Amino acid sequence: MQYKSFLIKYAEIGTKGKNRYLFEDALIKQMKRALKNVEGQFVISKESGRIYVDTEGEYDYDEAVDALKRVFGIVWICPMVQFEDRDYENIKKQAVAYMDEVYPDKRLTFKVNARRGDKSYPHMSEEINRDVGEVILNAFPEMKVDVHHPDVLLHVEVRKKVSIYSLMIPGAGGMPVGTNGKAMLLLSGGIDSPVAGWMIAKRGVKIDAVYFHAPPYTSERAKQKVVDLARLVARYSGPIALHIVNFTDIQLYIYDKCPHEELTIIMRRYMMRIAEQIANDTGCIGLITGESIGQVASQTMQSLLCTNDACSLPVYRPLIGFDKQEIVDISEKIDTYETSVLPYEDCCTIFVAKHPVTKPNLNVIRKSERNLEEKIDEMVAEAIRTKEVVWCD
């Protein structure tokens, strides 16, 4: 069956009432973005509680479904047959034709599930269930009705048009990007931060990102890897402005002036400070990191306390309670894993101490940072001034 249309079902949680149109419009905008690069012509329309995608001419079905699967806010993608002629006999005829074409092997059980979106339609849902069921049974004697566990649940929706569908492909869930604020993701080349960004974008949040690199200690390839990861996340979240900050001088300065076992924590605090400044300059109202309690020395509760203390914007850490394997599973699902495990150097690992503190004391850390007073503000300002922005779409 070459489907010409799709019925898109979305979650309605928190979107009832006045704000519903905002949610629908954001969803349609994201669907258009996702379908932009798919071969074919797509027309998206809405009708109370439903969004339809109509195709014109040839199009790539698999690519279109994959694109829609990446749109947050969609719960089900249903390839369907839709027609305007609501004549009762026509509906029956179309239902039989649908079953014939979609299910060449007729040895199956089914149930008709009719719904009248338009309550003025002269036939009740129960009546449609019965009558459509009957014509299908008459046309295909091998088929049987099973009202409890049917192989095929045939939906017949009567609205301005009639929609018939039985396939329901799970969507990404969540909320459409653009229905919430914007946040700044601290994106490294690792496994965790792309997953963290994906998770927050899934809640409708628009995302920008910041990456700290340390040339010549970190290579051009390591930077390209982060650009690639941002592009992979952008397939779900929409375009990401990636701010690339040269962190080398700051790292060397900290290395020179502070105890080596505190290096990672102090570095992380400067990352948060710089990320916060860029966030404030670009309209982001939160930071996102890939931290998870206890994963490494810099992510113990004590370390997180010290990192958190360096900024005042809320820091969203969606992976905080996840085990590594759970994070890996998501990264595989969203296709970032293979890029994340490419073995390029990371600025955090280059200057890392042999025995980093695992229970840093905030007062001690603050005191160590006083050694930086002479130059650090100017260095931070310089790092922000000289940052490069890559548009990842």
Residue ranges that bind ligand ATP, judged by CB under 6 A: 186-188, 190-193, 210-212, 271, 289-291, 295-296, 298-299, 347-348
* Residue 209 CB, nearest approach to ligand ATP (Å): 8
* Residue 311 CB, nearest approach to ligand ATP (Å): 12
* Residue 268 CB, nearest approach to ligand ATP (Å): 6
HSE-CB at 41 with a 13 A cutoff on CA atoms is 3
Of residues 77 and 266, the one with the C-beta less far from ligand ATP: 266
Question: CA 115, CA 162: separation in Å to the nearest integer?
Answer: 10
Query: Which of ligand ATP, Mg ion, none interacts with 137 (beta carbon under 5 to 8 A by kind)?
Result: none
Of residues 31 and 347, the one with the C-beta less far from ligand ATP: 347
Closest of 36, 330, 37 to residue 201, by C-alpha: 330
Instruction: State the number of binding residues for Mg ion (CB under 5 A).
Output: 2
Query: Which of Mg ion, ligand ATP, none interacts with 212 (beta carbon under 5 to 8 A by kind)?
Result: ligand ATP
On the 0-12 / 13-18 / 19+ scale of CB atoms within 10 A, 281 is exposed
Question: CA 307, CA 315: separation in Å to the nearest integer?
Answer: 10
Of residues 349 and 361, the one with the C-beta less far from ligand ATP: 349
Query: Which of Mg ion, ligand ATP, none interacts with 318 (beta carbon under 5 to 8 A by kind)?
Result: none
Query: Which of ligand ATP, Mg ion, none interacts with 187 (beta carbon under 5 to 8 A by kind)?
Result: ligand ATP
Query: Which of Mg ion, ligand ATP, none interacts with 222 (beta carbon under 5 to 8 A by kind)?
Result: none
Of residues 154 and 210, the one with the C-beta less far from ligand ATP: 210
What string of H, E and C letters represents the secondary structure of the chain?
Answer: CCCCEEEEEECCCCCCHHHHHHHHHHHHHHHHHHHCCCCCEEEEEEECCEEEEEEECCCCHHHHHHHHHCCCCEEEEEEEEEECCCCHHHHHHHHHHHHHHHCCCCCCEEEEEEEECCCCCCCCHHHHHHHHHHHHHHHCCCCEECCCCCCEEEEEEECCCEEEECCCEECCCCECCCCCCEEEEECCCCCHHHHHHHHHHCECCEEEEEEEECCCCCCHHHHHHHHHHHHHHHHHHCCEEEEEEECHHHHHHHHHHCCHHHHHHHHHHHHHHHHHHHHHHCCCCCEECCCCCCCCHHHCHHHHHHHHHCCCCCEECCCCCCCHHHHHHHHHHCCCHHHHCCCCCCHHHHCCCCCCCCCCCHHHHHHHHHHHCCCHHHHHHHHHHCCEEEEEC
Closest of 288, 283, 292, 295 to residue 271, by C-alpha: 288
* Residue 346 CB, nearest approach to Mg ion (Å): 5
Of residues 154 and 304, the one with the C-beta less far from ligand ATP: 304
Query: Which of ligand ATP, Mg ion, none interacts with 295 (beta carbon under 5 to 8 A by kind)?
Result: ligand ATP
Question: CA 257, CA 255: separation in Å to the nearest integer?
Answer: 6
Of residues 97 and 350, the one with the C-beta less far from ligand ATP: 350
* Residue 127 CB, nearest approach to ligand ATP (Å): 57
Query: Which of ligand ATP, Mg ion, none interacts with 290 (beta carbon under 5 to 8 A by kind)?
Result: ligand ATP
197 binds Mg ion (CB under 5 A): no
Of positions 30, 55, 94, 188, contacts Mg ion by CB under 5 A: 188
Site stretch for Mg ion (CB under 5 A), options 91-99, 188-196, 204-212, 297-305: 188-196
166 binds Mg ion (CB under 5 A): no
Of residues 188 and 336, the one with the C-beta less far from Mg ion: 188
Query: Which of ligand ATP, Mg ion, none interacts with 289 (beta carbon under 5 to 8 A by kind)?
Result: ligand ATP
Query: Which of ligand ATP, Mg ion, none interacts with 79 (beta carbon under 5 to 8 A by kind)?
Result: none
190 binds Mg ion (CB under 5 A): yes
* Residue 247 CB, nearest approach to Mg ion (Å): 13
* Residue 370 CB, nearest approach to ligand ATP (Å): 24
Q: Please report, as ranges, the residues that interact with Mg ion according to CB under 5 A.
A: 188, 190
